[in-house]
Amino acid sequence: MQLEVIGVGAAGCRIADAIHAGDPAERSVVGTAFAFDVDGEDVTALQSIPVARRFRYGETIENGLNGNLQRGFTVGEEHVDELSRHLDDGQPSIADAFVVAVGLGGATGGGTVPALVENLQRLYDKPVYVLATLPATSELEPSSDDRSGSGSDAETRPMAEENAVRTLERLEGSADAVIAFDNEEWLRSSETVLEARDRLNRELADRVLAFFTATASGTDEPSGAETIIDANDVARILGDETGIATIGYGKQQVETDDGGSRFGLGLFSAETSVDTTTAISAIETTIQKGLRGKLTLECDRGDADRALLVVGGPPAWLNRQAIADGRSTLESATGSAEILSGDAPRPDSDQVFAVVLLAGVEPAGRLAALRSRTKPLDRRRAGE
Ligand SMILES: Nc1nc2c(ncn2[C@@H]2O[C@H](COP(=O)(O)OP(=O)(O)OP(=O)(O)O)[C@@H](O)[C@H]2O)c(=O)[nH]1
């Protein structure tokens, strides 16, 4: 698939940067990556997105938005046309989808992304997938030191939770889907988001890239796959009703045994000698890791409305029966009949991988907890 990747706010820009940095040259999925932030220093500190694609907006805002999401929404509305014009410099017309990255909890990304997503939906006939982090609990607990790295005042921490829920409410009905990443789940004990963020962003980028590079776009060379997953399949599984999605990923190193075929000489064929039992076992193990291992957002597998599985690796290792069995495993784990599966041959690789996308996974524990602690806006307005 070909993606236009847009990061908004500090976290969103860093995540977009990590995706851009990890985009594999030989199987690139990032058409153009953009970084939008009101904080010029954060935009400047990025490593990978070309400088010409980084934009500071709202220069008149002094001292940032300080977690004031209401102000963030206003700033987003005010600047959305300006930001959308920058996107014309990319390749939106040939993109299969937009991926908009944001750290939920902040005011800049969380304030601008809803207006931007609405605008993208109006301007282009492409799905818009939001990639959103959930705030870690350490940010929600008042403490004497600034452990979160995003707000120094104890008063701002509970705000992260409320902000996250409000931004999600605003995205309702405009984002096609929200692929969630739970910072809390991915932090090691006593680690802060500030300390861990580069690792978290790499983990997230790895999964997002594993997923999208395993899918095909109309312009791709024939891959030799038995069942290709394309942009329409992804859109079908992610849906268009702002459902919450999560990604699982498993991989395993395998032996490749021919002289040079891994390097694109085309000698590697399904006939190459890989013991069938070993291949089946490798596929089963990676699918189990993808399905039962840590997801970007933890959830009950049985809550997923739809799911997608792509298994990739050296062609000789892609045992069709094991992939079909994996699909059945996914079917019984989710209880869903809306399951798609495909394969992604990688003649130049020595890894077997499985990427699992679960969609419509609510109520996902962490998200349900955030929502339950935040009063619906109508009750709040009524003074309850
Ligand atoms: N995974 C990840 N999460 C981050 C990162 N930086 C911040 N966060 C989280 O993202 C949330 C939003 O923080 P920021 O992106 O700094 O906020 P912002 O959108 O720039 O908005 P303001 O700072 O309020 O103006 C925070 O609650 C953190 O949990 C990062 O690099 N990676």
54 in a structural domain? yes
Give per-residue burial for 38-64: e unless 16+ CB within 10 Å, then b: bbeebbeebeebeeebbbebbeeeeeb
**Domain check: are 201 and 152 in the same one?**
yes
Q: Are residues 196 and 263 in the same domain?
A: no
- Nearest-angstrom CA–CA distance, 199 and 180: 16
Residue 112 — φ and ψ, nearest 5°?
A: -90, -35
Indicate the helix (H) or strand (E) that contains 377: helix 377-381
Contact 222, 274 (CB under 8 A): no
Q: Whose CA is nearest to atom 29 of ligand 1?
A: 135
User: Measured from the CB, is residue 315 less than 6 Å from ligand 1?
Assistant: no
Distance between Cα 365 and ligand 1 center (Å): 21
Query: Is residue 373 one of the residues assigned to a domain?
Result: no
296 close to ligand 1 (CB < 6 Angstrom): no
Residue 110 · residue 102 · CB < 8 Å: yes
The answer to whether 258 and 272 have CB atoms below 8 angstroms apart is yes
Residue 205 covered by a domain: yes
Nearest one of 24, 26, 14, 8 to 87, comparing CA atoms: 8
My answer on whether 104 and 179 are in the same domain is yes
Domain C-terminal end among 156, 189, 213? 213
Domain annotation covers residue 371: no
The preferred substitution site among 141, 150, 179, 183 for testing ligand 1, maximizing ligand atoms within 8 Å of CB, is 150
Please give the distance, rounded to the nearest whole angstrom, from the Cα atom of residue 4 to the centre of ligand 1.
21
Is residue 153 located within the same domain as residue 284? no
In this structure, is residue 377 part of a structural domain? no
Contact call for residues 130 and 164 (beta carbons, < 8 A) = no
DSSP code per residue over 323-335: HHHHHHHHHHHHT
- Tell whether residue 41 is among the known ligand binding residues: no
CA 150/CA 237 separation, integer angstroms:
34
- 17 is a domain residue: yes
**In one letter, which amino acid is 337?**
A
User: Number of C-alpha atoms within 13 angstroms, CB side, residue 154?
Assistant: 5
Q: Is 10 in the pocket of ligand 1 (CB under 6 A)?
A: yes
CATH number at residue 106: 3.40.50.1440
For residue 119, report the distance from its CA to the centre of ligand 1, in Å. 23
How do the pLDDT tens digits run along the chain, 384 residues long?
999 999 999 999 999 999 999 999 989 999 999 999 999 899 999 999 999 999 999 988 877 788 899 999 999 999 999 999 999 999 999 999 999 999 999 999 999 999 999 999 999 999 999 999 999 987 765 544 444 444 444 444 568 999 999 999 999 999 999 999 999 999 998 899 999 999 999 999 999 999 999 998 655 666 788 899 999 999 999 999 999 999 999 999 998 865 433 433 334 444 568 999 999 999 999 999 999 999 999 999 999 999 999 999 999 999 999 999 999 999 999 999 999 999 999 998 999 999 999 999 999 999 999 999 886 655 555 555
Query: Which range of residues forms the domain containing residue 306?
Result: 245-363
Q: Say if residue 310 is in the same domain as residue 194.
A: no
Does the CB atom of residue 164 touch ligand 1 within 6 A?
A: no
109 labeled binding residue: yes
Statement to judge: residues 138 and 79 lie in one domain: yes
Q: Decide if 263 is inside a domain.
A: yes
Residues 198 and 254 in one domain: no
Name, in order, each residue with C-beta under 8 angstroms of 372's C-beta and a sequence gap of 6 or more.
Answer: none
Structurally, how many domains does the chain consist of? 2
Beta strands 30-37; 54-56: pairing state: parallel
Decide: 197 in ligand 1 pocket, CB within 6 A: yes
Question: In terms of domains, do 86 and 208 share one?
Answer: yes
Instruction: Please report whether residue 225 resides in a domain.
Output: no
Residue 297 and residue 188 share a domain? no
In this structure, are residues 253 and 239 in contact, taking their beta carbons and an 8 Å threshold? no
Is 218 annotated as contributing to ligand binding?
no
**What Cα–Cα distance (Å) separates residue 226 from each residue in 99, 108, 330?**
27, 44, 19
Q: Are 191 and 323 contained in the same domain? A: no
At residue 48, the 3 state secondary structure works out as coil
CATH code where residue 263 lies: 3.30.1330.20
H/E stretch holding 9: helix 9-22
Backbone angles phi, psi at 230, to 5 degrees: -120, -175
Question: ipTM of the predicted structure?
Answer: 0.99
Q: Are residues 44 and 143 in the same domain?
A: yes
Do the beta carbons of residue 297 and residue 367 sit within 8 Å? Answer: yes
Asked whether residue 109 falls in the same domain as residue 171, the answer is: yes
Domain boundary among 213, 233, 259: 213
Q: If you ran DSSP here, which 8-state letter would residue 280 be given?
A: H
